Amino acid sequence: MKKSLVALAALAATSVFAQSSVTLSGDLSFGHLVSTSRTTSGISKTTTIAGVDTFNSNRINVIAVEDLGGGLKLTGRVDNRLTTANAARATGDMFVQLDGGFGSVRVGQFTFASHSAWNAGASRAVSATSTAAQSLTPNVASYTSPNFSGLTVAAALDLDTSAGGVGKDGWGLKFNYAAGPIGAQVSYTIAPKVTASMTPIKVLGIAASYDFGVAKVFYNQTDSRAGNNSVTPTSAGYLATTATAGSGSVGAHTGNSVSVAVPLGAATLKAGLVNRKGDTNANIVDRATLGVDYALSKRTVLTAEFGQDKQAVTGANRSNNSFVGINHTF
């Protein structure tokens, strides 16, 4: 009888542990990047070994998942990212998430409203779009509703962590729709105040895609209202990746992009146009990109891309960027 009880206990323990899993995944991207810039002061050229995606594409992810029973699932994620020069490590997404029939609740550090996927047709290496993402700070809690015929609604609270509580919490709201060939997203985020005098940046994002079968077309727009701060803004919530980091004021700007991805067997042709309108003439930039991905396998892709930026008003500043490299996911 005792042996039977011990065997049952061991079996029960085994079944419990079998409901938990830890997954190690990642992305490695390297290649030869050549950048040539022409300004009023002359022409400069740089050659570097860089990652395919300038948004820290080289990363290692640790994801732990546990089935809690009763339709509940707990997920924890830590995303370690390397800079394109691989000189430093930065923490990306780091959160705990509870999923169930009620939807999902997530707490930690993560990107709440990202539009990077809505510009997948454009080149990734030579010029990241000006409408890529809006990241929140490491003190975020969000709720995402269940899927209602393709529609999900999410809300986030971005906590104020200023000394003495002189700031103000930020928040975000996002609507996402995906059904058949259609995809769409609308989001609005307000970064938290970290000083009493700060005016936080407010970002409205609109994105859509349609898959025609022979080609997938993407549209993306981000409108950022100006903010100011008396200290150097370092939190991801204060500055979207669409803005320029630095102290003092940050001007309002709008970024629009249209891109297309055309699959041709193992190859995918990509092209994109981006226009950024800023608060000064120098910040009005037109960008054109062209590239091709060739899949050696499901996880390994060769990439060749070319892009050109130019100052739209005066034409004083131009840059050409070409990239040939390889990307591997695991």
Q: Which of 100-114, 138-152, 265-279 has the lowest mean pLDDT?
A: 265-279
Q: How confident is the model at residue 235 (pLDDT cuts 50, 70, 90)?
A: very low
pLDDT in tens, 20-43: 899 999 888 888 878 787 776 777
DSSP 3-state of 110: coil
Residue 178 CA from chain centroid, whole number:
18
For range 134-146, the mean pLDDT? 78
Report the distance separating Cα 55 and Cα 58, nearest Å. 9
Question: What single string gives the DSSP state of each residue in 16-37?
Answer: HHTTEEEEEEEEEEEEEEEEEE
Q: Is residue 76 part of a domain?
A: yes
Is pLDDT larger for residue 123 or for residue 101? 101
Q: Is residue 3 part of a domain?
A: no
161 Cβ partners below 8 Å, 6+ apart?
137, 139, 167, 192, 194
Q: Is residue 104 part of a domain?
A: yes
Report the distance separating Cα 320 and Cα 47, nearest Å. 12
Report the distance separating Cα 235 and Cα 34, nearest Å. 31
Q: Would you put residue 154 in left (φ > 0), alpha (ψ -120 to 50) or beta? A: beta
Amino acid at 135: S
Work out whether strand 103-109 and strand 89-100 pair parallel, antiparallel, or are unpaired: antiparallel
Residue 238, domain extent:
19-329
Q: Is residue 7 part of a domain?
A: no
Q: Is the pLDDT of residue 167 over 80?
A: no
Report the distance separating Cα 123 and Cα 290, nearest Å. 6
Q: How confident is the model at residue 140 (pLDDT cuts 50, 70, 90)?
A: confident
Count of structural domains, the chain: 1
Q: Which CATH number fits the domain that encloses residue 282?
A: 2.40.160.10
Closest CA to 302 of 323, 330, 283, 281: 323
Q: Which two tokens stand for residue 62?
A: 């640790």
Q: Is residue 310 part of a domain?
A: yes
Q: Is the pLDDT of residue 106 over 70?
A: yes
Q: Is residue 191 part of a domain?
A: yes
Q: Is residue 13 part of a domain?
A: no
- Specify which of 109-113, 240-244, 252-256 reaches the highest per-range mean pLDDT: 109-113
DSSP 3-state of 69: strand
Q: Is residue 95 part of a domain?
A: yes
Is pLDDT larger for residue 72 or for residue 17? 72
pLDDT in tens, 305-329: 888 877 765 656 777 888 888 888 8
Which ranges of the chain would DSSP assign to H, the alpha helix? 2-17
Q: Hey, what's the torsion of the CAs at 238, 241, 244, 250, to 10 degrees?
A: -40
